[in-house]
Amino acid sequence: MAKVFKADEIKNIAFMGGSGSGKTTLMESMIYENGIIKRRGSIEGQNTVCDYFPVEKEYGYSVFSSVCNLEFSGKKLNFIDCPGSDDFCGGAITALHVSDTAVILLSANEGVQVGTQNHFRMAQKEKKPILFVVNKCDHENANYERTFEQLKEHFGNKIILLQYPLNQGAGFNAVVDILKNKMLEWKQEGGAPTEKEIPASENDKVTQLRSALYDMAAEANDTLMEKYLAGEILTENEVLEGLRSVFASGDVYPVMFTSGIRDMGARRLMDALAIIAPTVKEAHYPITTTGKEIKPDEKGETSLFVFKTSVEPHIGEVNYFKVMSGTVRTGDDLVNISRNSKERISQLVSVAGSIRTAVDEVCAGDIAATVKLKDTKTGNTLNSKDCDYDYPPIQYPHSKYRRAIKPVTEGETEKLAALLTRMHEEDPTWVIEQSKELRQTIVKGQGEFHLRTLKWRLENNDKMFIQYDEPKIPYRETITKISRADYRHKKQSGGAGQFGEVHMIIEPYVEGEPAKEMYKIGGQEYKISVKDKQLIDLDWGGKLELINSIVGGAIDARFIPAILKGVMDRIEQGPLTGSYARDVRVIVYDGKMHPVDSNEISFRLAGRNAFAEAFRNANPKVLEPIYEVNVFVPSDMMGDVMSDITSRRGVVLGMETEKNFTTLHALIPLKEMSSYSTTLSSLTGGRATFSMEFKEYQLVPADVQDQLLKEYAETQNDEE
């Protein structure tokens, strides 16, 4: 029977790093060293344990995060191997949410890259301790000294060496291990190293590095400090124990060296993490939506947080969860507090990538998976009866790339909608929007490759062939001057007739500015007496204010709601481009009604047509959505990026330079952001990244408006 681990024996670790840093290969070596597999797979062979989805085998690198439970030195190390590409950042964000330590890989030949910086910022935001691993020390262009200097330059004096390579490059097979005070040397096949004495030529360097390491470790522990000051030699475990507290508090970023592809350093990395990484018991406890701190007590009320849902080959839907409190056992009945439904845990599995091992129970702090849940999705909380814990959802970044999507075969719209819903549950950074306004289904993601992956999965896994189109832009229309109109609706067709007449004034609505008491339009004055007003927050942004200024009972108050409905009918389709209108004040000041023929439909039609005419005469303008864009780019490439922003009608607001990277802050129209993800990658060789968030609506330039009006007129003619 599989061992059941308690919270003080469990360490949850996010395994991160930019594309090409070799995470999956190093993880494969750790799985092999752990005895779970008898032979290491390779990316080229499409047989690694962690990249087991068909799309990952096709592309040759990680698309989804992969859970790997390993047992080492009496501890359970729950790794979550994260995708490196910024397009799949959702996996890294999810992993950090349920982990207590971040291991960030970088390549010895490439050094600190944008991906390294991104993952560091993610880990810092979540207040996770960070250990750096310099991988690919066997690369022909490996340069550990340069990489180490870059780490110090970017992340400060908290960077400290636990090892360093002796012979990097193609001949790499040894490191000087400062903790062990030994040289670790590997045979050609890697695996367990042989401990040897450090070459005499390295003694001075090692003495200096050990002194810095001992100082840092001893400062955290009074007993160690006394021993150290007395001149006694600290053992490897004593130094590691001393590092535990400074590491957990984020006061030190240790650095280790590996070659994942040659299985050199994997065992030593697990060895260090088994000691210095905080256990679940020592880490920050989760907080519920009500602010309650939940201790990882295996005897407490059972509570699970589902952090990932995926549909996997030959299995179906798999739910990955972290036990926040209590103990979950096979056969338990739980309540999904997020969806108010009941679930039975029919099976529990410990996961090492594609390898599943059945277990009978899982305790607080541990990570596992289950299958065949009826109604549970990513972000849901499952509790034992009478437990009311509920955990906040994981927060993901705003989308950066959008496309309209439709099935190639007509009649498959509903099937596509169901598949897209499932895809969103697997990766919440695939965002689906059924836009009534644009009459399109919009799919949003983190980049062009992110959406290309969605298309590949739909077409290859589900045989749903789709087409991507340029998405329409959600323009808005508004008015820029005061206008007046009246309209009489009269219809007589035997029996009861229809009659309603509405006179109205419209003007731009500005927050905090009240309506005037007198309006002069076309040489005539109109006195306004506010009887009643309604301020409506429009679903698409902006406001509509309706003021009832009827005097003398010209229109009965019971018809005002009908007039408002008529106005709303037209405000949903502006005359310039058919877009939603916004920020308009409507003053109904006069009209007429008939004692028999007036009814709601009459005044709705009269209000609709009066508003349409007044809007056309109020110098209407088109507004476009403007996004705040932050670009993180190597400083030597800043000029090309700024030029590109300018060509997109963008306005650079400012910039911040840190080390060799610059963050540009700009405002750019959404229309000009269509291909930005691809262009930025091309301009910088994939070394830059960006984020974007809706800022405001602004008037489009006159030439752009003329073009939009022309295009809209052509579509209207086509429809006729």
Question: Do 505 and 551 have their domain in common?
Answer: yes
CATH of the domain at 36: 3.40.50.300
Question: Do 485 and 615 have their domain in common?
Answer: yes
C-beta separation of 471 from 438 below 8 A: yes
Give the other-Cβ count within 10 Å of 660's Cβ. Answer: 12
Question: Do 433 and 325 have their domain in common?
Answer: no
Query: Which segment of 112-121, 321-330, 451-460 scores lowest on mean pLDDT?
Result: 112-121
Question: Do 140 and 260 have their domain in common?
Answer: yes
Domain count for the chain: 5
How far is 615 from 478, CA to CA, in rounded Å?
A: 8
What type of residue is 381? T
How far is 131 from 159, CA to CA, in rounded Å?
A: 9
Question: Do 557 and 610 have their domain in common?
Answer: yes
What is this structure's pTM?
A: 0.86
Q: Is there a domain that residue 518 lies in? A: yes
Give the other-Cβ count within 10 Å of 413's Cβ. Answer: 12
Query: Which segment of 287-296, 475-484, 672-681 scores lowest on mean pLDDT?
Result: 672-681
pLDDT (tens digit per residue) in 531-587: 999 999 999 999 999 999 998 889 999 999 999 999 999 999 888 898 999 999 999
Question: Do 262 and 141 have their domain in common?
Answer: yes
CATH of the domain at 375: 2.40.30.10
Q: Is there a domain that residue 293 lies in? A: no
pLDDT (tens digit per residue) in 273-321: 999 999 999 999 999 999 999 999 999 999 999 999 998 877 888 999 9
Q: Is there a domain that residue 13 lies in? A: yes
Q: Is there a domain that residue 212 lies in? A: no
Q: Is there a domain that residue 242 lies in? A: no
Question: Do 143 and 14 have their domain in common?
Answer: yes
For residue 719, the model assigns a pLDDT of 55
Picking from 453, 472, 491, the residue at the C-terminal end of a domain is 472
C-beta separation of 155 from 128 below 8 A: no
Question: Do 336 and 428 have their domain in common?
Answer: no
Question: Do 161 and 22 have their domain in common?
Answer: yes
Phi then psi for residue 63, to 5 deg, are: -115, -35
CATH of the domain at 529: 3.30.230.10
Question: Do 647 and 539 have their domain in common?
Answer: no
Q: Is there a domain that residue 43 lies in? A: yes
Highest mean pLDDT among 50-59, 155-164, 219-228, 664-673: 664-673
Sheet of strand 194-196, all strands in order from the earlier edge strand to the far edge: 163-165, 174-177, 182-185, 194-196
Q: Is there a domain that residue 379 lies in? A: yes
Structural domain including 483 reads: 477-619
Question: Do 58 and 162 have their domain in common?
Answer: yes
| CA-based nearest residue to 80, from 161, 16, 5 | 16
- Between the alpha carbon of residue 193 and those of residues 120, 186, 408, the distances in Å are 30, 5, 56
Picking from 444, 472, 500, the residue at the C-terminal end of a domain is 472
Question: Do 158 and 18 have their domain in common?
Answer: yes
Q: Is there a domain that residue 57 lies in? A: yes
CATH of the domain at 413: 3.30.70.870
How far is 93 from 110, CA to CA, in rounded Å?
A: 24
Picking from 589, 619, 649, the residue at the C-terminal end of a domain is 619
